[in-house]
Amino acid sequence: MSDFITSVKDNNSIVIIETNGYLNNVGGEAVSAVVYEKMTQGHKKFLINMAATKIVNSIGVSILIEIIEKLQEVDGKIGYYNLAPIVAKTFTIMGLTKYSSVFESEEAAVNGL
């Protein structure tokens, strides 16, 4: 596990990934590595807790889009919660929120995904 991923856990067949730091190329690759591995195990639903990620760049967003594309192929879903305002804004501008969901909390995310 990279420094960017601080925890990966299952919750009612949803994989919850906690991140820490800059969601850039490195961070995005770390997330995609976890997601793709879990997909091979049959997981289709993923949530990312971004409480400790205060900044994101477009490369990080691109990687998330790539993940979304992969998940769409297997009817999977990905969502995010605990987003910093600037991160939420970037996700909106980059069009990420059209194809994935943003939640206020883990509970809302687990129930809403």
Partner 1 sequence: MASELHINDLQLKYLELETLLDITNELNSFDQIPVLLHEILVKSCAVLNASSGLIFIEDDNSDVLHIGAEFNIDISILKGFILNKQKGFLSEINESRQARSYEIEQNSFLSKTLCKYALIAPLLEKKNLVGIVVLFDKESRKGISPFHEADANMLSAIASQASVAYNNIKLLENIKEAKTFNDNVMQSIATGVFTTNLMGEINHINSAATTIINLEKNHVLGNHYEYIFESNETITQLITKCQLKSVTLSESQVLIECNGKLTTVNISVSPLMNDSNEPIGSVIAMEDLSNIVKLKSTFKKYVSKQIVDQLLENDDMLNLGGQELEATILFSDIRGFTSMSETMSPKEVVETLNEYFDLMIEIIFKYNGTLDKIIGDALMVIYGAPNATEQDTENAVLTAIEMQEKLIQFNQDRIINLKQPIKIGIGINRGKVISGNIGSKQQMNFTVIGDSVNLASRLCSVAESDEIIVSDAVWKMVKHVKSYKSKKLNPVHVKGKVKPIEIKGILYNRPDFQYELAYKKIEHFLLENLPKNYPYHSIEHIRDVVKQTERIAKKEKVEKSVFQDIKLAAWLHDVGYIWEPARHEVRGAEYATSILTEMKFPKSKISLITGMIMATKIPQSPKNHLEQILCDADLDYLGRDDYALNSNNLLQELELTKKLKAKDWLQIQEKFLRAHSYFTPTSQKLRNKIKQQTLLNIQQQLKNI
**DSSP letter (8 states) at residue 24:** S
d(CA 75, CA 43): 11
Q: Which is nearer to partner 1, 33 or 105 (CB)?
A: 33
In the complex, which residues of this chain contact partner 1 (CB under 8 A)?
A: 21-22, 24-26, 54-59, 61-63, 65, 68-69, 72, 86, 89-90, 93-95, 99
| Cβ at position 95, least distance to partner 1 in Å | 6
Q: Which is nearer to partner 1, 9 or 89 (CB)?
A: 89
Burial of 62 (0-12, 13-18, 19+ CB in 10 A): middle
